[in-house]
């Protein structure tokens, strides 16, 4: 059974591309055959995050316009068995393709792959409509901020209007210390508002920047907490139940320890 999952958010810059790359890597490393598709036509990014930018010959628009076959445009990631990238066109715009063409492309890709992950552009216009056209399922990425959650709510409504099943949530850029001090909404706060199932939390972490510099997503690194967050999310995406929550950070500062010792601080850790 293969499926196309669109990774979307509404608001820009919350981590859709980071999530698509890491989830793609984690799913492939767990044995699935995965294609990650950059649907952000004109603002190609996923190739860079994956470190595959030098290998692009053809792109998504070439495939849709029949200038090459799908197989010719797919770039195989040699670091993970079964991982492929279909890059976006950089010199075209979102109107170069239609939702019907995207549906047909996805149908064709699902014959080859277990998972087709669609990296959606920001916004709610044509690019979004193209990206969700062929999707069977949607993952909403948000950060714990008012503006991102507001846009996520809007997108959840649009996903439901498109008759996709209830979308699932990834909360990205969580800062455990701020959550602990009450200066960042926690997952319960966010779930109370958005009321969709949670796939997991990803910490705000320098690994994301370092791995982006290198073109080597954190999900390749068995030591990385960001990588571990995405590996657990990948297991939940595959339907595994009872994947243990990941403890994002345990405040080991002197005051935190003293407070815990005196029973003054909540002992609950930030996990997800």
Ligand X SMILES: Nc1ncnc2c1ncn2[C@@H]1O[C@H](COP(=O)(O)OP(=O)(O)OP(=O)(O)O)[C@@H](O)[C@H]1O
Query: CA Rg, the chain, in Å?
Result: 19
Distance between CA atoms of residues 235 and 23, nearest Å = 10
Judged by CB under 8 A, the chain residues 176 through 215 that form the site for other proteins are 179, 181-186, 189, 193-196
Q: Which is nearer to other proteins, 210 or 256 (CB)?
A: 256
- Work out what residue 29 binds among other proteins, ligand X, Mg ion, none; the CB cut-off runs from 5 to 8 Å by kind: none
> Minimum distance between the CB of residue 44 and Mg ion, rounded to whole angstroms?
9
User: Is 172 near Mg ion (CB under 5 A)?
Assistant: no
Q: Which is nearer to other proteins, 23 or 179 (CB)?
A: 179
> Minimum distance between the CB of residue 260 and other proteins, rounded to whole angstroms?
10
Distance between CA atoms of residues 121 and 58, nearest Å = 20
User: Is 17 near Mg ion (CB under 5 A)?
Assistant: yes
- Work out what residue 183 binds among Mg ion, other proteins, ligand X, none; the CB cut-off runs from 5 to 8 Å by kind: other proteins
User: 171: closest CA among 207, 134, 136, 196?
Assistant: 196
| 126: enclosing H helix or E strand | helix 126-133
User: 21: closest CA among 61, 50, 58, 56?
Assistant: 50
- Which positions lie near ligand X, rule CB under 6 A? 9, 12-18, 40, 45, 121-122, 172-173, 202, 204-205, 208-209, 212
- Work out what residue 66 binds among ligand X, other proteins, Mg ion, none; the CB cut-off runs from 5 to 8 Å by kind: none
Distance between CA atoms of residues 139 and 199, nearest Å = 9
Distance between CA atoms of residues 201 and 248, nearest Å = 8
């Amino acid at each position: 059974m293969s499926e196309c999952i669109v990774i979307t958010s509404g608001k820009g810059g919350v981590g859709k591309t980071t999530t698509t790359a890491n989830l793609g890597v984690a799913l492939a490393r767990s044995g699935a055959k995965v294609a990650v598709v950059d649907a952000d036509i004109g603002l190609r990014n996923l190739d860079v995050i994956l470190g595959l930018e030098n290998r692009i010959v053809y792109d998504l628009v070439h495939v849709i316009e029949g200038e090459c076959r799908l197989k010719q445009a797919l770039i195989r990631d040699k670091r993970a068995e079964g991982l492929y990238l279909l890059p976006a066109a950089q010199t075209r715009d979102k109107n170069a393709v239609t939702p019907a063409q995207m549906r047909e492309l996805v149908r064709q890709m699902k014959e080859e792959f277990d998972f087709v992950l669609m990296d959606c552009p920001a916004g709610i216009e044509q690019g979004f409509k193209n990206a969700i056209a062929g999707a069977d399922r949607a993952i909403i990425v948000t950060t714990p901020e008012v503006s991102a959650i507001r846009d996520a709510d809007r997108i959840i409504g649009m996903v439901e209007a498109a008759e996709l099943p209830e979308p699932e949530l990834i909360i990205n850029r969580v800062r455990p210390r701020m959550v602990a001090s009450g200066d960042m909404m926690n997952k319960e706060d966010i779930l109370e508002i958005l009321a969709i199932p949670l796939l997991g939390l990803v910490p705000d972490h320098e690994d994301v920047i370092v791995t982006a510099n290198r073109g080597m997503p954190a999900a390749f690194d068995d030591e990385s907490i960001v990588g571990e967050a995405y590996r657990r999310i990948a297991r939940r995406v595959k339907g595994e139940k009872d994947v243990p929550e990941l403890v994002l950070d345990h405040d080991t500062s002197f005051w935190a320890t003293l407070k815990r010792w005196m029973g003054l601080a909540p002992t609950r850790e930030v996990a997800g």
